[in-house]
């Protein structure tokens, strides 16, 4: 009776480094088979433990620039001399199939998406405290003290952008955060602006007509 | 770290007669002890099986008019020569305590609330089909054929108001409808506009300062 848009949502999951974006996304995908994670492209070199098509699609600088020319990116940017970009076509195809696309992305990239996809759902993943954020960044053990400090300072700036998002989810426990994102998805699917048509004029209308004539 | 508004939401649950508003509300309240149903006042006579303070607060016409003078109603209206109104004070008190207030109300009353409480959450409960709506209205067995037909015609008009609501929930199964409303409540609590303050300047800030000085 109610026809709603069958298009999947684009969920932009963003937040400071150390907020747990990737962990939460993986846990969400494991439980929700109608969700799909968009993988970004990069022109930086593949690291040893990385797999092409898992963390990123690894392209040469020339391949990346060719795709820019062909308008294949939703957004792209240069960090530390390397290209990073979000491929457009796969996102559109999945959404058309009714699949929700999750885009795990840094805060600056997220704000670019906002201009381009106004119906995207923006979720800011928040660490429970700056203390815990610091512990998480240090706990990785892969980065220098300077880099941890730099990421920590960036987190302060990024949290200031929170008002540009639709939702904020505190990542105290991965399970809680996933459950909240699932609720957001369910609620968004119930939004009245997803209704394309309220069709009362098919067999129900025939019924109504016949009732009126009784 | 994030201070959100501690005020409870006002959920206006509305929909045509036969959509199952009261059944869904009862099931929601049974599971969610942070929700409370606002009871309306009326000046019509109490029916045999009704209990004062359960279906309605039953007032005399004079008592009702006194409360109008004292500005005690959020909205009120006259149907069939009797007053019906939503008492304001209890709703405000419960919301201040962080309790979500559910207001089960006809479509016309709901649209009045929209003007008065812009931050209320408007949920339109939809029957799965007009066929099922007709069956439900007839199944009550308490009303004349004319009254059923009149309610059925009103339902058509009311469904046209759906775009003024925030959410539409199809009441195919009470359990599904309740679960969707719970998701809507969870999602609404995550909305960025509920954030009053992002407080990074307490003990975490001290920590940050000390880190900067190292």
**Domain chopping of chain B, boundaries:** 2-38+99-213
Shortest CA gap A82–chain B (Å): 29
Give B37's strand partners: B102
Question: Best mutation site among A190, A200, A207, A210 for testing chain B: the one with the most B CBs within 10 Å?
Answer: A190
pLDDT in tens, A62-74: 999 999 999 999 9
pLDDT at A94: 95
DSSP structure class, residue A56: B
Strands (E), A88-151: 100-104, 121-126
SS3 A104: strand
Q: Do B190 and A211 touch (CB under 8 A)?
A: no
Q: CA-CA distance, A38 to A100, in Å (whole number)? A: 10
pLDDT at B148: 84
Q: Are B92 and B102 in contact (CB under 8 A)?
A: no
pLDDT in tens, B159-210: 889 999 999 999 999 999 999 999 999 999 999 988 877 766 545 555 556 6
Helix or strand (DSSP H, E) at A135: helix A130-139
Q: Are B85 and B41 in contact (CB under 8 A)?
A: yes
pLDDT at A209: 61
- Over chain B, what is the mean pLDDT? 88
Global pTM reads: 0.87
Ranges of residues in chain A whose predicted pLDDT is under 70: 199-214
From chain A, pick out residues whose CB is under 8 angstroms from the CB of B211: 134, 149, 152
Q: What is the ipTM of this complex?
A: 0.86
pLDDT at A79: 78
Smallest CA–CA distance from B148 into chain A, residue? A211
Q: Do B192 and A2 touch (CB under 8 A)?
A: no
Smallest CA–CA distance from B200 into chain A, residue? A130
Shortest CA gap A205–chain B (Å): 8
Q: Do B167 and A192 touch (CB under 8 A)?
A: yes
Q: Do A149 and B2 touch (CB under 8 A)?
A: no
Q: Which of A1, A168, A200 sits opposite B2 (nearest CB)?
A: A168
Is the domain spanning B2-38+99-213 CATH 3.40.50.970? The answer is no
Helix or strand (DSSP H, E) at A195: strand A195-198
From chain B, pick out residues whose CB is under 8 angstroms from the CB of A211: 134, 149, 152
Statement: residue B213 has pLDDT above 70:
no
């Amino acid at each position: 009776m109610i026809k709603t848009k069958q298009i999947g949502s684009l969920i932009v999951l963003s937040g400071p480094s150390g907020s747990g974006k990737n962990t939460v996304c993986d846990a969400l995908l494991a439980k929700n088979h109608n969700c799909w994670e968009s993988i970004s492209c990069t022109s930086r070199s593949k690291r040893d433990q990385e797999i092409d098509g898992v963390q990123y699609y690894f392209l040469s600088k020339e391949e990346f620039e060719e795709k820019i020319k062909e308008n294949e990116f939703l957004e792209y940017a240069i960090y530390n001399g390397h290209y990073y970009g979000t491929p457009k076509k796969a996102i559109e195809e999945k959404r058309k199939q009714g699949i929700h696309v999750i885009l795990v992305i840094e805060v600056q990239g997220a704000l670019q998406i906002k201009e381009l996809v106004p119906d995207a759902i923006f979720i800011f993943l928040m660490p429970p405290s700056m203390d815990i954020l610091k512990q998480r960044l240090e706990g990785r053990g892969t980065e220098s003290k300077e880099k941890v400090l730099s990421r920590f300072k960036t987190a302060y700036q990024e949290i200031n952008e929170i008002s540009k998002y639709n939702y904020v989810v505190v990542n105290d426990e991965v399970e809680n955060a996933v459950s909240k994102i699932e609720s957001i998805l369910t609620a968004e699917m119930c939004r009245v602006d997803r209704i394309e048509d309220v069709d009362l004029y098919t067999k129900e209308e025939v019924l109504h007509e016949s009732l009126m004539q009784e």
